[in-house]
Amino acid sequence: MAGAKKNSCYPNSTLDFADLLPISNRQKGVYRSAIFHDVDLLLTSFVSKDEHTYSSFNKVWNELEFVYVHFGCLSQDFHPDFMHVFFDAILSVIYALYFMYHSQPEVWEKIHIRVTPEEWKTMFDFYIYCCHEKIFLESVFVFKRLREEKAFHFTITTTIKGSNYLEQKEAETPNNLLDRLRNFKQQRIECDAAGINSNEHATKFKALAGKFKRAKEATLRTPQATIAIKELLEKRANIKESNSRLLQSALTSSALAIDDNAFLEQLDTPTTKLWKERESRLRDSWI
């Protein structure tokens, strides 16, 4: 885990104090930002892969040996809050939820995944969409499995508050600042330039491009298209041709028949490079 920010036994500021997640009765803790960094590395490494399947996520999970994050908290009393921070950080990726949930230590009761009504609606709508369109079927199976195992726990809010009122008041201002920072990061992700190449967007683009290609092919086979190319040849090249087979051949080799879907392939290279660079930066800062 990308642990301490500085070689200090104590938080260096009220901001660090508010960011600290207790993991032991012996006044030990881990920074939430370190957890978010590790999760960011996990998800970025997954997104940078050519395929976004269960097996590719499993490969990334094992490469990073992510299962060992559970050793970050060895106290059963503090384990629930520790798991909730991880679940909140990976809520948008169903594979990550599944692996994190099932990799919990078997000696303790499993901690459920807390979701608000809004978060549940987003996840369930995506599940229904995938079922209807018959896409991302592995994600569908994983989500269904988590539902059957009653892995989700419904709650009004996922905010964790301590029991000490004075500590809450002291940390109120830095907590608000940290919340604003996390909201900003979430907005950046939602407006990310690389989002255009996400699985969902890419699927929609490819479906639309396929419809356009089939419509254009059907148009080129119509009698009107044959007449149009006949008149075009006569007007532009002074060629008089009436053989429909030759006219169709001229159509299929003309600029009208060029595949206009090449832009989808052009998106892949720079987007993949962008994710690879992000993964490299995160790995360099990973301790």
Q: What is the per-residue pLDDT across 64-121, written as a single tens digit (0 to 9) for each? A: 999 999 999 989 999 999 999 999 888 778 999 999 999 999 999 999 999 999 889 9
**Does any domain span residue 1?**
no
Tokens matching residue 168:
């809450």
Q: Are residues 92 and 180 in the same domain?
A: yes
Q: What are the tokens at 180?
A: 């604003």
The last residue of one of the domains, among 191, 224, 259, is: 191
**Same-domain check for residues 105 and 233:** no
Give the pLDDT score at 3.
46
The pLDDT of residue 191 is above 90: no
Helix axes 94-102, 137-148, angle to 10 degrees: 40
Q: Which of 162, 191, 220 is the last residue of a domain?
A: 191
What is the full DSSP assignment across 117-170?
A: HHHHHHHHHHHHHHHHHT--HHHHHHHHHHHHTT-EEE-S------S-HHHHHH
Q: Are residues 88 and 180 in the same domain?
A: yes
Q: How many angstroms separate the CA atoms of 18 and 32, rounded?
A: 9
Residue 66 and residue 172 in one domain = yes
Measured distance CA(238)–CA(215) in Å, rounded: 30
- Name which of 68, 5, 12 is nearest 32 in CA terms: 5
Tell me which residue range forms the domain holding 250. Answer: 203-267
pLDDT at 285 over 80: no
32-77 residue pLDDT tens:
888 988 998 998 898 888 788 899 999 999 999 999 999 999 899 9
Residue 177: per-residue pLDDT: 74
Instruction: Note whether residue 176 is domain-resident.
Output: yes
Asked if residue 234 and residue 118 are part of one domain, the reply reads no
Residues 35 and 167 in one domain: yes
Q: Which helix (H) or strand (E) holds 27?
A: none
Rounded CA separation 88/85 (Å): 5
Query: For residue 5, what pLDDT is reported?
Result: 47
Q: Are residues 162 and 239 in the same domain?
A: no
In a domain, 83, yes or no: yes
Residue 242 lies inside a defined structural domain of this protein: yes
Confirm whether 198 is domain-assigned: no
Residues, the chain: 287
Lowest mean pLDDT among 125-129, 172-176, 266-270: 266-270
Q: Which of 105, 31, 29 is nearest to 67 (CA)?
A: 105
Q: Taking all residues of the chain, what is their mean pLDDT, rounded to a whole number?
A: 79
Bridge partners of residue 154, in order along the sequence? 115
Residue at a domain's end among 191, 212, 241: 191
Show Cβ contacts of residue 165 under 8 Å, excluding neighbours closer than 6 positions.
Answer: none
User: Is 21 or 167 the better-scoring residue by pLDDT?
Assistant: 21
Which residues, listed in sequence order, are joined to residue 22 by a DSSP beta bridge? 29
Query: Are 67 and 109 found together in one domain?
Result: yes
Query: pLDDT at residue 2 above 60?
Result: no
Please, which residues have CB within 8 angstroms of residue 90's CB and are 6 or more apart in sequence? 39, 42, 43, 96, 97, 100
Quick one: 33 and 99 in the same domain?
yes
Does the predicted model carry a pTM greater than 0.75?
A: no
53 lies in some domain: yes
Q: Same domain for 176 and 252?
A: no
Q: Tokens at residue 166, please?
A: 């004075």
Q: Which two tokens stand for residue 16?
A: 């660090």
- 287 within some domain: no
Q: Give the residue with greater pLDDT, 213 vs 110.
A: 110
In a domain, 110, yes or no: yes
Residues 95 and 151 in one domain: yes
